[in-house]
Amino acid sequence: MTAVAQPREITAPRTTSRFSRGLGRVGVHAGVVILMAIWLIPTIGLLVNSFRPAQDVASSGWWNGLFPPYNLSLDNYAAVLSEQGIGDAFVNSLFITIPSVIIPILVAAFAAYAFSWMSFPGRNLLFVAVVGLLVVPLQTTFIPILRLYSGISIHFGPLNFDTLNGEFLAVWLAHTGYGLPFAIYLLRNYMGGLPREVFESAAIDGASPVVAFLRLALPMSVPAIAALVIFQFLFVWNDLLVALVYIGSTNAANSPLTISIANLVTSLGGNWQLLGAAAFLSMALPLAVFAALQRYFVRGITGGAVKG
């Protein structure tokens, strides 16, 4: 484009630089395409094998599935859903994830509103403490919470257990606690940036803080909330560690997909067609959520990180 804009400047040294720029362009395309291939091939390999019959998978590489006779089917998906308990685990993952997304975001929204639009002594110090809690490794919390949970026994209505360990409730509460620092941080940064006049005029018109929060702050913060929903959804749906610690061995019937699939790695060994089908079933929902809301996700991480 430089050449088109300034044709009269083409002199001998320019020509070489244009030639090397041309080489550069080829290099750029080659580099990008090679990197894309490195990122895609591993996934494509397992995806192709998840459609192939067991004997093909064991005797020939996945790339053979791309050429006739294709011999591809959905049999492996049907098999893992029914025989390997992946169907149940999928439902468990949903049960674990949905409340673990809703509760922390609501709790964080109250706190973020207080941090942004109410003044009280110690506000900044308290918020700095929340920023500090962002990086506390979950490992330092497991043992005391496990002990705490094991002492909780409830027999009331639908709640019926001798220990909280192994129950969905255990994971919901834990994910709420773990997700809060980031949720408060992100929402406070967003709510704090909303125009001050909006809240001042609402107060002059006699709107209570509850009304200002529900009618103004929450609806205006939808982009930040959307970003948070994706983060928390991906974090909880993809989580292995928290589920292993609080549900893990205590109550296998409540295992989410991550635990079930990790167990299949041991029990199914080299049955890549089944392992692949299970893996892609677990990836379907997060990829769909991600594809639908990617705009908010990218804005969330760039806003969160570039701003701080």
If one asks whether residue 16 binds another protein (CB under 8 A), the answer comes out as no
If one asks whether residue 134 binds another protein (CB under 8 A), the answer comes out as yes
Q: How far apart are CA 149 and CA 75, in angstroms?
A: 41
- Which two structure tokens, joined as six digits, stand for 189? 């940064």
What x/- string results for residues 196 through 235 when contact with another protein is judged by CB under 8 A? Answer: ------------xxx--xx-------------------x-
Sign for the CA dihedral angle at 284, 286, 287, 293 comes to positive
In whole angstroms, the minimum distance from the beta carbon of 24 to another protein comes to 7
Name residues contacting another protein, limited to 75-94 (CB under 8 A). 91
If one asks whether residue 1 binds another protein (CB under 8 A), the answer comes out as no
Sign for the CA dihedral angle at 218, 220, 224, 226 comes to positive
- Give the pairing of strands 154-156 and 159-161: antiparallel
In whole angstroms, the minimum distance from the beta carbon of 233 to another protein comes to 10
* The binder of another protein chosen from 108, 216, 227, 228 (CB under 8 A): 108
In whole angstroms, the minimum distance from the beta carbon of 155 to another protein comes to 15
Name residues contacting another protein, limited to 234-273 (CB under 8 A). 234, 237-241, 244-245, 249, 257-258, 261-262, 265, 270, 272
Q: Would you say 216 or 245 has its CB closer to another protein?
A: 245
Stretch that binds another protein, among 68-76, 79-87, 137-145, 221-229 (CB under 8 A): 137-145
Name residues contacting another protein, limited to 38-67 (CB under 8 A). 39-43, 45-46, 49, 57-62
Q: Would you say 78 or 94 has its CB closer to another protein?
A: 94
Q: Would you say 20 or 73 has its CB closer to another protein?
A: 20
Stretch that binds another protein, among 72-80, 194-202, 221-229, 277-285 (CB under 8 A): 277-285
Q: What's the DSSP call for residue 162?
A: S
The alpha-helical segments, DSSP class H, found in 119-167 are: 123-133, 142-150
In whole angstroms, the minimum distance from the beta carbon of 251 to another protein comes to 12
In whole angstroms, the minimum distance from the beta carbon of 82 to another protein comes to 16
Q: How far apart are CA 48 and CA 298, in angstroms?
A: 29
Q: Is the separation of the CB atoms in 62 and 52 below 8 Å?
A: yes
In whole angstroms, the minimum distance from the beta carbon of 228 to another protein comes to 14
Sign for the CA dihedral angle at 272, 278, 279, 284 comes to positive
Name residues contacting another protein, limited to 157-196 (CB under 8 A). 158, 168, 172-174, 176-178, 180-181, 184
- Which two structure tokens, joined as six digits, stand for 146? 């496990």
If one asks whether residue 283 binds another protein (CB under 8 A), the answer comes out as yes
Q: Which of 253, 296, 256, 215 is nearest to 94 (CA)?
A: 256
Q: How far apart are CA 220 and CA 206, in angstroms?
A: 19
Q: How far apart are CA 232 and CA 110, in angstroms?
A: 17
Q: How many residues does the chain have?
A: 308
> Could you give the dihedral angle defined by the CA atoms of residues 93, 95, 100 and 101, in that order, rounded to the nearest 10 degrees?
90
The β-bridge partners of 159 are 156
Q: Would you say 10 or 287 has its CB closer to another protein?
A: 287
